[in-house]
Structures are given as C-alpha cells and as structure tokens.
Structure 1
Amino acid sequence: MPAADARSPHRLAVWGDPIAHSKSPALHAAAYRVLGLDWEYDRRRVSADDLPSALSGLDGSWRGLSLTMPLKEQAFRAAAVRDRHATLTGAVNTLLLDGGPAGFNTDVGGIVDALADDGMRAASTVRILGAGATAASALVAAAEIGAERAEIRARRPDRAAALVDLGGSLGVTVSVASFDSPPTPVDLTVATLPSGTSLPADVALPLAGGGGVLFDAAYAPWPSALAAVWSDAPVVSGLGMLLHQAIRQIRVFLHGDPAHVLDDEASVLAAMRAAL
C-alpha cells in the first residue's frame, strides 16, 4: 500500500450515522499534532444508502476514511482490496483511498489490545452478545487470544449463521442462543450491542453472574446498562478499543499498513489517551 507524503496536507474523516458523538476527531487530531502532520480530520453523517455517492464525490486531497456503524459492511463492498481481518469479518472500518480503495478492519486488533491493557491476554470460553459486524470482529479477536468455544447471543439467532461458519474457519466451536437462554460460565463476555441498549433484568443479571470479564464495545453513556449490573469480574469499556483501533488506522493512513509501528508511538498513544 502507498505511504503518505507526510509533508503534504491530507483530508480524512470519520463517517457514520449517527456521528455527532464520535471521539475519533479528537483522537486523530491529538495524534497528528504529536507526529507533526498538517492533516485535517473531520466527521460527516453518512447513511448506508448514501455511502457510494459520498465516496464518488471525494477528490484527490482525501487520504482515507474511518467508518463506523452502519457503514462497515457497505465499506467492505466498496473496497477493491482488503486485509485479512476485513476478509474474515466482512467488515471494513478503514478505507485507504490512494490506489484502491483498500479496506482494513482495525477493530479486531483494537479489541485484543484493549483486553491486554486490562491484563486479559487469554480466554478459552467467550460469550458474544449481538450478531452484527462488531460481533464478527469480536469472534476473530477471541480466536486470537486462544478461545476454543464461543457462544453467540442474539435477538434473532438465525442472523448468527455466518458467525458459526466464521468460527469453523478459525477453529472455534460456536453455538447460538437467544438472550434469555440459561447461561453457563465463561471467561469473557463481549457485548457488541448498540450504545444505550438495556437488557431486561431477568436477562442481564444471569449473564453477569457467570460472565467473566465484561468487554463492552459501547462507551457512551458509561457505565452501560450491562456494566452497571456486572458482578465481581472486571469491566472494560469500549474506549480502549476505540483508542487501539484508531492507532492502527493512523498507521494505515501514514504507511498503508496497520502493523507498521509509528515513530515514538508511545507518545502518540499518550496524547490520544489524554484526548479521550
């Protein structure tokens, strides 16, 4: 992938619907100040139906985009080439527009690193709440920290068929259940439900009782309804995922590679944490 000319200004943005709540502009602006880059990063409300026309309207000043819900699956289809995580999940949250567009999924690495920040580097059994694009990223992340079994809880269990197939390709045995099925103990619960989702008490409390560490992809409002009733195990908010997926996006925008560590990345991360 082409590296950016750091001497030239570039335009970037986060797109989604809704988007006003996004912390991505503050995170990226903090990083580019440390890196000494005169790059503009904004936000724009774009619906799933409007994504193709919005992409076609960009000129050569645009380097890349961050994509949030509900655009990740549409961005996957818009990408000419994709990295491994995007190919596995069918979801793209980063588009590099030079010579592409090239699609990346930095959410997987964001989840893995957010868990590691809180001391969780391995889990054998995982429960994932939800069956959308973030659930697919959570399943790949679970496989990367050693999960052998994963249970998907969904309002519509029929929507989880693709996750069962994905688990098979990753060597993870995946089962599917409704939210109100009796839970069994797990090492880790990953909630990928939309921000503000509140599960009924007769569903949330049993899940909390033996759910292990809770990683909740949501971060606003915080604590989430689920985090507020979690029992003795640690709770990790989605801010860590937001931070670590963003640092991978910046690697992509600067070097074309989510694994290419930035110069003085520790200082970049510190500035981004301060901006959260």
Structure 2
Amino acid sequence: MTTAAAESPTARPHRFAVWGDPIDHSRSPALHGAAYALLGWPWEYGRRRVDEASFSDELAALPASVRGLSLTMPLKSLAHRVAVRRDADAEATGAANTLVRVDEGWAGFNTDVGGLARALVEAGAAGAERARVVGAGATATSALLALHRLGVVDVEVAARRPESARPLVELAERLGMVADVAPLGRPGDSADLTVSTLPGDAPVAEPDADRLAAAGGVLYDVVYGTWPTGLASAWQRAGRPAHPGGTMLLHQAVLQIRIFATGDADQPLPDEEAVVAVMRRALVGG
C-alpha cells in the first residue's frame, strides 16, 4: 500500500529553476537548496539564463519534471501573460515572479509584494505613515502594494520622468492612498520610509541622493548584490538607517516554496521558523 508520505507532492522528486538575464548573480539556488535540504524534500533547483526572445521556446520545451519556475528581470511581464490563472498580486502588478504547473498550463504568482511587506516589517518600518517610492518601474508597483498592505496611506513617487509615474499614482488612488509625484532630485514633504526600486547600477547624482536622504526617513533598497548603492551611501552620509534588499529576496523565496509545495502562499511550511533561519544563513553565506 502506498504511504501517505509517498503520495505527498513534497516526497516526489521535482525540479525547479530561476530564469532571467542576467542570472549568474542570483542567490535563489542557495536559498531554495538550503530549504529543501532541511525539509528533506528530494527537490532540485537550478538556474538558467533566459532572455525575452527565448522565453516562449524555453518554456514550451520544459520537461514535465520541472514543476515550477522563479522569474526575475526581464521575464516577469512575460510570465504574467503566459499564466492561465494568477493570484491577486500578479493581477494587480501585471507581473509574475513565480510559475507553477497546473492541469491547464501555468499558474502565475507575484511573491515580491508579500516578500517586500515582510522585509519592511523586519526593517522596523511597520508604523510608517508617509512613504516615498523611488522609481516607477514594475518593482515600484510591488512596492506600492506592499506599502498599502502595511497600512501606509500617504505616498510619494520620486521618478526621473514624473510622467512615467502616472500609472502608480492611479493605482494608489484606487487603493485609497493619497499619492503625489516628485522629480527624483526634488522630493516633497519628509517621509518616514523610502523604498528604492532602482536597479543597482542605476546612476543617481550625489546631490539628488543627498536631498532624498535628508527627507527620506529609513531606506529600504531592493538591491541586494551591490552594496552600498548610491542612495544607501547618501543615507549613510546623513546618519540614517539603510537596509539592503536581501531580506526581500529571502521572504519572497519562502512564499515561493509554499506555492511550489501546496499552490498556496498562505500555507506555512513545516517548521518554517527553522527553514527561514537556514535560508538566511545561505543568503549571507556568499
């Protein structure tokens, strides 16, 4: 007779991977591998450099043993489009960083929102009332939803091209938030919290960075591979706290593993506290 453990999806050998371009810097294989080992699951997690042009062909060619994927830039919008069903965060952001096989194709999820919300709480930003989001790209949309989840009601979007922030302002207003836009180098009123969604190699003029730091409260920068960023350096010069984005990567990966295991990001993992601890050690292990 087949045992209950053998019938469990977590007892079967499955393969997963992270795709993106570039991808060599990704810490996701280390995070996932540490979690699978602790849990005793016979799962494998690799990485592959996949660009936008090759995404559809690569996805179609995947063997059935690949149960799910993590997606990083520039593939999140493509993953959203290919998904036959999506969670609420993927729908709201137009981006999916997680795909899981379902009978009719792929289900898409966005764990960046929940991962960032958890990271902000860990950084001590749960009580922020006014926040600033730096940047107006796809990650900024996830940041806005994470801030809303934490109860932030007043938000400013600081962008090089203020007109590009209009969709973010419209989303904030639909969420019941008070939103405004400022040029990157001319921030408005002081904020309790700044979330930077700029890529690590995005140049920010030092005077602009210093003005943001002077009026920016605590900084959470989603970049985790290059530290300090230009903005983080400005916060350090101002004597203000600045946090790198590794904890966002950690917490969104925990949510991904929940999804890979059960299809439900709200279903905790077995002994999740120990899982998070071993993943955190893998994150800082280099």
Q: How far apart, CA to CA, are the structure 2 residues paired with 1:14 and 1:157?
A: 33
Tell me the TM-score normalized by structure 1. 0.96
- Paired letter, 2:247: G
Compare relative contact order (CA 8 Å, sep 6+) and give the higher one, 1 or 2.
1
**Aligned position for 2:176:** 171
Q: What CA distance in whole angstroms lies between the structure 1 residues aligned with 2:194 and 2:56?
A: 35
**1:258 alignment counterpart:** 265
Residue aligned with 2:11, SS = coil
Pair 1:143 & 2:148 matched: yes
Given that 2:185 and 2:212 are in contact with CA atoms closer than 8 Å, whether structure 1 keeps it comes out as: no
Question: 2:12 is aligned with what amino acid?
Answer: S
Q: 1:45 aligns to what? A: 49
2:90 counterpart SS class: helix
Q: Radius of gyration: which is bigger? A: 2
Alpha-carbon distance in structure 1 between the residues aligned to 2:134 and 2:263:
32
Aligned residue for 1:14, secondary structure, equals: strand
Percent identity, aligned pairs only, is 50
> Would the aligned equivalents of 1:4 and 1:253 in 2 still touch at CA under 8 Å?
no
Structure 2 counterpart of 1:249, from 235, 256, 262: 256
Alignment of 1:4-19 (within 5 A): 5-19=9-23
The answer as to 2:138 corresponding to 1:121 is no
Deviating 4+ runs (over 3 angstroms)? none
Give the alignment partner of residue 197 of structure 1, picking from 202, 223, 232: 202
Contact 2:186–2:211 (8 Å) recurs in 1: no
RMSD: 1.4
| Partner residue in 2 for 1:235 | 242
Higher mean displacement: 167-176 or 133-142: 167-176
The C-alpha deviation readout for 1:42-101, integer Å capped at 9, x for no partner, is 111111222111111112111100011111111111111111111111111111123331
Give the distance between the partners of 1:163 and 1:228, measured in 2 at CA.
Answer: 27
In structure 2, how many angstroms separate the alpha carbons of the residues matched to 1:85 and 1:240? 19
TM-score of the superposed pair, with normalisation by structure 2: 0.92
Unmatched 5+ stretches in structure 2: 1-6
Distance 1:184 1:219 in 2: 28
Structure 2 residue aligned with 1:223: 228
User: What is the CA distance between 1:4 and its match in structure 2?
Assistant: 6.2
Q: Which consecutive unaligned segments of at least 5 residues does structure 1 have? A: none
**Alignment partner of 1:134 is 2:139:** yes
- Return the alpha-carbon distance in structure 2 between the equivalents of residues 54 and 132 of structure 1: 25
In the aligned structure 2, how far is the partner of 1:198 from the partner of 1:4?
Answer: 48
Q: Which of 77, 81, 93 is residue 81 of structure 2 equivalent to?
A: 77
Once residues 8 and 51 of structure 2 are traced to their aligned partners in structure 1, the CA distance between those partners, rounded to angstroms, is 28
**Aligned runs of 1:147-166 on 2, under 5 Å?**
147-166=152-171
Contact persistence 2:67–2:100 (CA under 8 A): yes
Secondary structure at the counterpart of residue 102 of structure 2: coil
Contact 1:213 1:233 survives alignment (8 Å): yes
Judge conservation of contact 1:154–1:177 (CA < 8 Å) in 2.
yes
CA 1:47–1:148: 2 relative to 1, 3 Å: same
User: 1:41, 1:110 → 2: CA distance?
Assistant: 20
